[in-house]
Amino acid sequence: MTKFDFNDDSVVVIIGSGAGGGTLSNELAQKGVKVVNLEAGARQSPASFIQDEWKSFGQIAWLDPRTTSGDWRVAKDFSGLPSWICKTVGGTTTHWAGASLRFQEHEFKARTVYGDVKNANLLDWPLTLEEMEPYYARAEDKMGVTRTNGIPGLPGNNNYKVLHAGAKKLGYKEVHTGRMAINSQPRDGRARCLQMGFCFQGCKSGAKWSTLYTEIPKAEATGNYELRPESHVSRIEHDAKGKVTGVVYFDKDGKEQRQKARVVCVAGNSVETPRLLLMSESNLFKDGLANSSGQVGKNYMRHLTGSVYAAFDKPVNMYKGTTMAGIIRDESIHNPSRGFVGGYELETLSLGVPFMAAFLDPGSWGEDFTWWMERYTHMAGMWIVGEDMPRESNRVTLNSKVKDKWGNPVPNVHYDDHPNDLAMREHAFTQGEKVYKAAGAIKTFRTPPYPSTHNLGTSRMSAKPQDGVVNKWGQSHDIANLFISDGSQFTTSAAENPTLTIVTLAIRQAEYIAKQMSERMI
């Protein structure tokens, strides 16, 4: 395995090995760029993944202390767990369900199309769908997305049958088993899906795309890449001219190490990324790195979310087969006559008994609750994924009152639902319930949001430096050799699951970084 010296200042240091960091690492390594990839979590494999919800949670989830505030229900139900993401090699691509949808054209122009939404901080992306399309195509090919590149769709499970039947009765048109980065047939050295139903726990057959067993081993094979697991970065350093020079991190033995770098790319997911920029404040950058706009940590988005579960008088056994087995896309359009801007997707979801108990209705008890648990086998479920509004006041800040095990301030995640979010969630809950009633449900239930899996926007892209943190390449406006490479870049959240767009941006960013390096611009 390739090893780089701590003092090798020709390397690109990439922080995080998930959809953004893992993809960027491989793309750069393939181009001959030397990469040191620092990952806070340990390395697992399909063989070591555990099909047990709580045990798996302990194995791969990000459980470092965090705090919450704001009027969102997550702050009440899961005050120490604002987000449900992963601390493991491969990041949250180990846990994601695989939905891979392109953003729609209008979603890149949210400010222009939606107008001046009160108390929202909307902005157009500094790029367009047209610019993204060739890179979307490469990402879909890389990830093996079904219904692209001649790859057949996945077969729908029982949970999908229920969604499909209800959706069709209701008159929905675009209903299918989704565009999924899960092999419906063997591809790219990976097996086809076995319909196990433990997508969230790490795919034991490797059918679901994860950087853990695609991008990372491919990068390792180039000889240009070194992965350092269990390496928690606490600071990005810079020189007197304001260029970043390397990072300081705690290795697996808790020892502080310093890795020099020519370029630093941050892909720690949208809570850790701004936290690291803020923790790296200095005399030169008193408000944190790349923060002349004051936007670092702001505009935190987490998608609308919410779930509808339904009970039927006949069995469904939704746990059999893929977690996200199908989708209704009709509501993802922008149609303000519904009472809100932007749109949402409805996607099937299922949980096992242990997580159903934890997430169906957090904090509740009594016969109303056990009525549902007793009907576990007769339940179907769907998840709402909708565009939420960016707001300056929804933000990640440092909470100096609480320290992590290395003595650093933990991130506080503040979120208040915007009236547009509330109106959209109400609409989506209503439609979701209608779908299940049309399929014959005897009862439906509105499950509040889980801890956030889609964390976005805390270092957003903007055309003008005063409006955001990075430019259209994810390069920070302030520091030319500092990049943001994860969902933190998102200017707005769009209605679609974010991973495909994160991967697409990483492929595009790798081209830019390699070119800038070869032209000695960075």
Question: Which chain residues interact with another protein by CB under 8 A?
Answer: 50-55, 152-158, 160-162, 164-165, 175-177, 184-185, 192-198, 204-205, 314-317, 319-321, 326, 352-354, 356-358, 363, 365-367, 369-370, 373-374, 376-377, 439-440
Letter string b/e over residues 100-118, b meaning 16 or more CB atoms within 10 A of that residue's CB: bbbbbebbbbbbebbeebe
CA 500, 502, 508, 510 torsion: positive or negative? negative
Between the CA of residue 456 and those of 153, 212, 255, 492, 504, what are the distances in Å? 28, 22, 31, 8, 15
Nearer to another protein, 234 or 317 (CB): 317
Between the CA of residue 288 and those of 15, 236, 237, 341, 488, what are the distances in Å? 17, 10, 11, 33, 16
Quick one: tokens of 318?
A: 């939704």
Cβ 260 to another protein shortest distance, Å: 42
Chain centroid to CA 69 = 21
Region for residue 325 given its phi and psi (left: phi exceeds 0; alpha: psi -120 to 50; beta: otherwise): alpha
Cβ 246 to another protein shortest distance, Å: 41
Nearer to another protein, 382 or 507 (CB): 382
Nearer to another protein, 104 or 195 (CB): 195
**Run of H or E including 422:** helix 419-438
Between the CA of residue 137 and those of 140, 141, 147, 148, 324, what are the distances in Å? 5, 6, 12, 8, 22
**Run of H or E including 264:** strand 263-266
Nearer to another protein, 137 or 191 (CB): 191
Nearer to another protein, 152 or 254 (CB): 152
Chain centroid to CA 301 = 11
Nearer to another protein, 168 or 235 (CB): 168
Enumerate helices (H) and strands (E) in the chain, giving the number of each. Answer: 12, 17
Cβ 442 to another protein shortest distance, Å: 13
Cβ 353 to another protein shortest distance, Å: 4
Return the SS3 of 10.
coil
Nearer to another protein, 53 or 226 (CB): 53
Cβ 349 to another protein shortest distance, Å: 15
Environment class of 404 (CB within 10 Å of its CB; exposed 0-12, middle 13-18, buried 19+): middle
Nearer to another protein, 160 or 415 (CB): 160
Cβ 513 to another protein shortest distance, Å: 38
Cβ 196 to another protein shortest distance, Å: 4
Whole-number Å distance between alpha carbons of 119 and 199: 37
Cβ 140 to another protein shortest distance, Å: 17
